[in-house]
Chains A and B, each alone.
Chain A
Amino acid sequence: MSAAALAPDVQARPRLSLRGITRAYPGVVANDRIDLDVLPGEIHAVLGENGAGKSTLMKIIYGIVKPDAGTMQWEGEAVRIASPAQARRLGLAMVFQHFSLFETLTVAENISLALDAAEAGPGLPAKIRDVSRRYGLTLDPARLVHAMSIGERQRVEIVRCLLQAPRVLIMDEPTSVLTPQAVLRLFDTLRQLADEGCSILYISHKLDEIRALCHRATVLRAGRVTGECDPRRETTATLARMMIGAELPHPRHRPPVAGAPALVIDGLDLRSDDPFGTTLRSISLTVCAGEIVGIAGVSGNGQRELLTALSGERRVARRDAIVLCGTAAGRLGAAQRRSLGLAFVPEERLGRGAVPEMSLAENALLTARHRGLVWHGLIRADAARSRAAEIIASWSVKAAGPGAAARSLSGGNLQKFIVGREILQGPRVLIAAQPTWGVDVGASAQIRQALIDLRDAGVAVLVVSEELEELIEICDRLAVIAQGQLSPARPVVETNAEELGLLMAGSAAMPEPTAARGRA
């Protein structure tokens, strides 16, 4: 069967049709008069960069967010979807980017809560097994969700949707949590569904995936529809132009000149303080001055635990399990590690990297409390303000000024402020977690370039990310974390996405750290 034969009938009446959907939030119009038609049996991409308004639009369709204006038609009839429950009754189902699962419940319990009481009877486990077999999504209904990997959890979400026999299935960035191999399997499932007549709304900013999977694409930019196309007939470059109005930027690279080891992790074992977390097992890694080392992996495989152990938010039992610029730092706290030359950009910007309610000036002070901004235990407010102003100017952060609250900034601008703040402290080691997650393309490019410039200036940089492409683009060496274990770091030029994907799945043989690495 050719792809063309599978293409849906463009003359068919749209199953779902939106006209003039508008939703404004204070200071930003997330959706501005959006029109969208979804035909029966088509895989329809909604393409746009972070902050373009894709998620808001899906939430409106699914009844979570109410639009300010606009109309919706379902199978030709005008509808107003007031709640997810109503959306489900119509035949809409959604797989969320952040799963809506309950960790302490079993798979069957999770699924039953999403069904009507009548469907969730004692026959449910059999039904779950039935559906999961039909679509190749292996699941054990009796398992507790917290014991499952992220990929398995996504299967629960999908099976939960399929049990409702949906006519439109919304998938919100489904591949960000999958290995490259798992992405291909997911595509098979989605194609099978579309063949059976289910329409799929596929939300993504990954151009290659959309070209490989989707029949049609609606492109959003800054809350508006900027184009509609058949992605199979477009190139990545033409799609990018529609999405961001320019070519995708690429950072400038120079060959690495690695220096002395600046961060050495040696046989780090750590039990997670979260009962549902991942235990770290003999993690070893060296990051030298003047190189960028990346850690790839599907989220939930120990990244959070590793990062809190490195940042000093959690102390580890053995002093020399973490050596920072020559000092055994395992038992030091976060502030002490900072004074050794560590800077850290955490994954969560609001609430961890910055205090949402506080001004940028106060947030500049957050990790620089002992760097010229403090006099005998008293805060030098002027110095903090000018520090914030300096970051705002040099990173062209869009903000009302040093007095603006951190939460008033967009994700990209806040991330630039945080990265700027950390770099301004002149670190010898910089650790960045998901540095460009949820950040628009312009800010991403700026941040990536800054990391590379930092490397060229002789700083040791460690980047932990779930975006494999990003890591391959900026890193010199790459390691993979899976189930709390870290593979040896290898030069990026000697590896490829497929090999890394196998390591991420934890299926490839993970070589034990050799005895030669030994204790320093």
Chain B
Amino acid sequence: MDTFAQLVILTFAAGTPLVFAALGELVVEKAGVLNLGVEGMMLTGAVASFIVTADTHSPWLGVGAGALGGAALSLVFAVLALTLLANQVATGLALSLFGVGLSAFVGRGYISVVIEGIKPLSIPGLSDAAIVGRLLFGHNPMVYLSLALFVAVQWFLHRTRSGLLLRAVGESPASAHAIGHRVIALRYAAVLFGGACAGLGGAYMAVAYTPSWTEGMTAGRGWIALALVVFATWKPWRVLAGAYLFGGVTLAQFQAQAAGVAIPSQLLAMLPYVATVVVLAIISRDATTIRLNAPASLGKPFHPE
């Protein structure tokens, strides 16, 4: 039973970077903006959080810096794609390429630095009690943060007027503009929020999950997060489910390696990427569902007037 709790906790831990990044991207896409720069923003968030943690010895300050770093990079995207009406696909790609270079550049001095990261909760009498206690109270604090983010996003999108407006803008920016809403300002806010979430995902990896800094340490999780949003057909709870599914796949690969399965580690390591491709194909196959759920203006530039 103990192993079961351990497996669940590890699965959540492996899925959490995707929860952060994909929930942020979901909000961005709900506003009708396609930001392919998630990988770059995650790496920027990771490096920012690691540097701040290493220098201040405060991992939570680091987490804040990670969110800021991701948001700062997303601001570049917002200016190019929203104000200057650049092609969103090209701009997002540029953001990812740039983020990889930027994080490698500023993180060069921190590659073998050791930090005191954020540890899993350990509440005496609860976290170590029975299996239920461990399942409820044994996670890393940032896992709870990601769950809080999920609740907040779900509540915002479906229970608030601003959330309603965000969905409306994603469907028809021209209509929202015509009835007097500030489409570009709202999209800026969404993009910055998405950047901050991606930054949090990166920060989680750098100061809680591993904790360490290596170049390109997100290893494609930003792209998997993008696939996850499609997989989830733009529904937050499905993002959550999908993220833990991928967490489980990642974990299975590690477990198999540890158990000494006679499959080369490189082939096992392909598993999450292959799974992403397969799942993406299965979901995308139903074009009607995608069209029904995808924000109608996704990826299209909007120029008031």
Question: Provided the pairs A65-B305, A102-B172, A109-B164 are in contact, do residues A85 and B292 lie with their beta carbons within 8 angstroms?
Answer: no
Chain A residues near B181: list those with CB within 8 A.
Answer: 85, 113
A83 touches B292 (CB 8 A): no
**Interface 1/0s, chain B 282-302, versus A by CB < 8 A?**
000001100110001000000
Contact yes or no, B171 A104, CB < 8 A = yes
- Mask of A100-137 contacts with B, CB within 8 angstroms, 1/0: 11111100010011100100100000000000000000
* Residue interface mask A150-171, B partner, CB < 8 A = 1: 0000000000000000000000
Q: Which of B177, B291, B305 contacts A275 (CB 8 A)?
A: B291
Total number of residue pairs linking A and B with CB closer than 8 Å? 64
**Quick check: is B165 within 8 A (CB to CB) of the other chain?**
yes
Q: Is the CB of A84 within 8 A of B175?
A: no
Q: Which of B150-185 contact A (CB under 8 A)?
A: 161, 164-165, 167-168, 171-172, 174-181
Q: Which of B168, B180, B305 contacts A102 (CB 8 A)?
A: B168
| Interface size class, chain A | 20 to 34
Task: Tell me the A478-513 residues at the B interface (CB within 8 Å).
Answer: none
A96 at the interface (CB under 8 A from B): yes
The answer to whether the Cβ of A64 comes within 8 Å of any Cβ in the partner chain is yes
Q: Among B167, B175, B291, B296, which residue has the most Cβ atoms of chain A within 10 A?
A: B175
If the complex has contacts A64-B305, A85-B180, A113-B165, are A100 and B175 also in contact, measured as CB distance less than 8 A? yes
Bound complex: CA A109 to CA B287 (Å): 27
Cβ contact within 8 Å between A99 and B175: yes
Alpha-carbon separation in the docked complex, A76 to B90 (Å): 51
Complex: chain B residue closest to A117, CB-CB: B161
Chain A residue nearest to B171 (CB atoms) is A102
Given A64-B305, A117-B161, residue A84 in contact with residue B177 (CB < 8 A): yes
Which of chain A's residues has its CB closest to B304's CB? Answer: A64
CA distance A113 to B166 in the complex (A): 11
Complex interface residues of chain A between 66 and 102 (CB less than 8 A to chain B):
83-88, 94, 96, 99-102
Q: Which 7 interchain pairs have the tightest Cβ spacing?
A: A85-B180, A100-B175, A84-B180, A100-B178, A114-B179, A275-B292, A102-B168
Query: Do B176 and A113 have beta carbons less than 8 Å apart?
Result: yes
In the complex, the answer to whether B164 meets A113 with C-beta atoms within 8 Å is yes
Q: How far is the CA of A114 from the CA of B164 in the complex (A)?
A: 12
Q: How far is the CA of A89 from the CA of B287 in the complex (A)?
A: 42
Residue of A64, A85, A102 with most chain B CB atoms under a 10 A cut-off: A102
Query: What are 24 A-B residue pairs whose CB atoms fall within 8 Å in the complex?
Result: A64-B305, A84-B177, A84-B179, A84-B180, A87-B180, A88-B180, A100-B172, A100-B175, A100-B178, A101-B172, A101-B175, A102-B167, A102-B168, A102-B172, A102-B175, A103-B296, A105-B171, A113-B164, A113-B165, A113-B168, A113-B176, A113-B181, A273-B287, A275-B291
Collect the chain B residues with CB atoms within 8 Å of residue A469's CB.
none
Q: Which residues of A contact B292 (CB under 8 A)?
A: 275
Structural contact, A103 and B164, CB atoms closer than 8 A: no
Within 8 A of B (CB), among A179-208: none
Bound CA–CA A202/B42 (angstroms): 53
Across-interface contacts of A382 in B (CB, < 8 A): none
Q: Contact between B171 and A103 (Cβ–Cβ < 8 Å)?
A: yes
Closest B residue to A89 by CB, please name it: B180
Q: Which residue of B lies closest to A65 (CB)?
A: B305
How distant is the Cα of A64 from the Cα of B173 in the complex, in angstroms?
13
Q: CA A103 – CA B172 in complex, angstroms? A: 9
Q: B291 contacts A274, CB within 8 Å?
A: yes
In the complex formed, the residue of B with least CB distance to A104 is B171
Nearest A residue to B175, CB-CB: A100
